[in-house]
């Protein structure tokens, strides 16, 4: 079995600002934006494929508030090409996240039909779901956070992106990404969202911000014309609260799970420090010499976009890949590097050995960090080589002393001794 330095469990002190009652906050803020004119309106409530904290409660609160004003809400998937680029698949993704007719009190209507709503000044088409166009009003519900494909102080992944790409379904997502290959994604999202928001019926956006513990911390409701000007403040708060790996240099980063519910890139590039082309990001805060991804989340339903960010993956991850869902997403986003299969091996021990060799580090003194996923950075398993980096810091504390890595007979990390199990 591979010889590894002893490991210890470290707890990180992150920004903590959880809302006591996210559903109540949503109802209160949305109610302030509704008047008697909403009575009788059919309202499309757009929800995406991200694993946002308490998302089913928030969507349910939106639906209940609309019903209380006499409106008739229904939920539509706004996730571009996710869910295998099929209408049933997109409804299934929402169900995996807890958003069903039974849970939110509104029917889920899933269709891939879109219509063109105009052409941008630079010549590309803007497309939007027919279900949204035919409704009397649209409410967008999405988390606002830094984007994984570009760095911008004013635009991230949020309401504007949902209107430009998520609501465009498969065809609209491809059109935006094709244009982005020439113009840059930030430019395309801005121009497409202006066309879409200008053509949709009455629009409200429910912008959500999570704290460092992946807990819902802020709900803001913006009218359509306010979204472009109001979203930067939400992005700034998300940037302020967003966690990061707490060490400047890591030989091997082990990510237990990756998936579309964690990040659009499977693993957040802002955390792992690699761009969607797999190369180091210029704005990286941490240098990761080798990255090992162990598995896919069940919620990603086989969509393994982002595995190309890793240097090594396990056989079990490769076996869980759904090629249709994965390749459709990559074709839509025009990102073939994100779905290239890295080298893979049957056991954790073999994968770790390969990652160590790629890092160039000696096993006994390697700086190894293990996390559950790139949204869960409150607990980390780190090797003894990082003990000096932890000592004396007020944002890190050791909660389990150094111990040997435990592998089972097959060479996999012993789940019974898994220090990250049940950490959240």
312 and 184 fall within a common domain: no
What are the DSSP calls for 222-252, one per residue? Answer: EEGGGHHHHHHHHHHHHHHH----S-SEEEE
| Residue 54 shares a structural domain with residue 132 | yes
Residues 255 and 186 in one domain: no
Sign of CA dihedral 368, 11, 212, 242: negative
Task: Examine the domain organization and report whether 130 and 165 are in the same domain.
Answer: yes
Percent of the chain with pLDDT over 90: 83
Helix (H) and strand (E) counts for the chain?
14, 15
pLDDT of res. 277: 66
Q: Which domain CATH number covers 97? A: 3.40.50.11440
Other beta carbons less than 10 A from residue 184's beta carbon: 14
Considering the domain boundaries, does residue 10 fall inside one?
no
Domain annotation covers residue 9: no
Mean pLDDT of 35-40: 94
Q: What is the pLDDT of residues 377-400, one digit of tens each?
A: 999 999 999 999 999 899 999 998
Q: Are residues 163 and 296 in the same domain?
A: no
Least confident span in 230-239, 312-321, 405-414: 405-414
pLDDT reading at 417 higher than 50 = no
230 and 253 assigned to the same domain: no
302 pLDDT exceeds 90?
Answer: yes
Same domain, yes or no, for 235 and 311? no
Same domain? 53 vs 199: yes
What is the domain range of residue 384? Answer: 244-417
Residue predicted with more confidence, 114 or 283: 114
pLDDT at 52 over 50: yes
Same-domain pairing of 218 and 287? no
89 found inside a domain: yes
Average pLDDT over residues 184-204: 95
pLDDT at 420: 60
Q: Tell me the β-bridge partners of 398.
A: 10
Would 4 be classed as within a structural domain?
no
Same domain, 282 and 393: yes
Domain edge (last residue) among 241, 276, 300: 241
Among 187, 220, 241, the domain-final residue is 241
Task: Give the pLDDT confidence score for residue 423 in this predicted structure.
Answer: 41
* 13 in any annotated domain: no
Does residue 387 lie in a domain region?
yes
Q: State the Rg of the chain over Cα.
A: 22
Q: What is the DSSP letter of 145?
A: B
Query: What is residue 398's predicted lDDT score, i.e. its pLDDT?
Result: 94
| Number of domains present in the structure of the chain | 2
pLDDT tens digits, 98-157: 999 999 999 999 999 999 999 999 999 999 999 999 999 999 999 999 988 777 888 888
- Same domain for 187 and 296, yes or no, is no
- Is residue 333 a part of any domain in this protein? yes
Q: Would you state the torsion angle of the CA atoms of residues 387, 393, 394, 400, taken in this order, to the nearest 10 degrees?
A: 0
Give the pLDDT confidence score for residue 406 in this predicted structure.
84
For residue 132, being part of any structural domain is answered with yes
The pLDDT of 68-87, averaged and rounded, is: 95
Determine the average pLDDT of the residues in 9-13. Answer: 96
Given 220, 241, 262, the domain boundary residue is 241
Nearest C-alpha neighbor of 138 from the set 157, 166, 112, 116: 166
Asked if residue 103 lies in contact with residue 68, where contact means CB atoms within 8 angstroms, the answer is no
Helix-helix angle 185-199:169-183, to 10 degrees = 140
Q: Are residues 218 and 277 located together in one domain of the fold? A: no
Whether 216 and 153 have beta carbons less than 8 Å apart is answered as no
Across the chain, mean pLDDT equals 93
């Amino acid at each position: 079995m591979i010889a590894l330095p002893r490991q210890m469990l470290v707890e990180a002190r992150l920004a903590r600002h959880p809302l006591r009652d996210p559903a109540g906050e949503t109802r209160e803020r949305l109610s302030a934006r509704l008047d008697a004119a909403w009575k009788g309106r059919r309202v499309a409530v757009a929800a995406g494929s991200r694993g946002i904290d308490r998302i089913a409660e928030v969507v349910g609160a939106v639906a209940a508030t609309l019903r209380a004003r006499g409106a008739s809400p229904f939920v539509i998937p706004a996730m571009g090409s996710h869910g295998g680029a099929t209408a049933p698949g997109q409804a299934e993704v929402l169900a995996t996240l807890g958003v069903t007719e039974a849970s939110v009190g509104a029917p889920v209507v899933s269709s891939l039909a879109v219509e063109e709503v105009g052409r941008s000044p630079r010549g590309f088409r803007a497309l939007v779901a027919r279900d949204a166009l035919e409704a009397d009003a649209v409410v967008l519900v999405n988390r606002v956070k830094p984007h994984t494909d570009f760095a911008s102080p004013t635009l991230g992944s949020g309401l504007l992106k949902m209107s430009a790409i998520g609501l465009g379904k498969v065809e609209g997502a491809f059109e935006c990404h094709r244009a982005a290959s020439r113009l840059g994604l930030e430019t395309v999202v801005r121009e497409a969202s202006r066309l879409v928001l200008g053509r949709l019926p009455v629009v409200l956006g429910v912008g959500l911000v999570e704290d460092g513990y992946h807990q819902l911390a802020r709900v803001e409701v913006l009218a359509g014309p306010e979204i472009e000007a109001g979203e930067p403040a939400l992005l700034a708060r998300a940037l302020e609260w967003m966690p990061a790996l707490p060490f400047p240099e890591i030989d091997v980063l082990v990510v237990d799970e990756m998936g579309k519910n964690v990040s659009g890139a499977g693993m957040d590039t802002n955390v792992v420090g690699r761009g969607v082309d797999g190369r180091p990001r210029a704005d990286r805060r941490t240098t990761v010499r080798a990255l090992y991804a162990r598995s896919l989340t069940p919620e990603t339903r086989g969509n393994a976009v982002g595995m190309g960010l890793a240097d090594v993956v396990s056989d079990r991850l490769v076996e869980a890949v759904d090629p249709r869902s994965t390749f459709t997403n990559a074709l839509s986003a025009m990102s073939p590097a994100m779905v290239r299969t890295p080298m893979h091996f049957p056991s954790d021990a073999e994968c770790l050995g390969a990652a160590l060799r790629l890092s160039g580090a000696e096993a006994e003194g390697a700086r190894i960090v293990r996390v559950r996923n790139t949204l869960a950075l409150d607990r980390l398993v780190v090797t003894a080589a990082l003990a000096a980096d932890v000592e004396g810091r007020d944002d890190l504390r050791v909660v389990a002393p150094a111990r040997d890595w435990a592998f089972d007979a097959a060479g996999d990390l012993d789940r019974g001794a898994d220090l990250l199990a049940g950490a959240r």
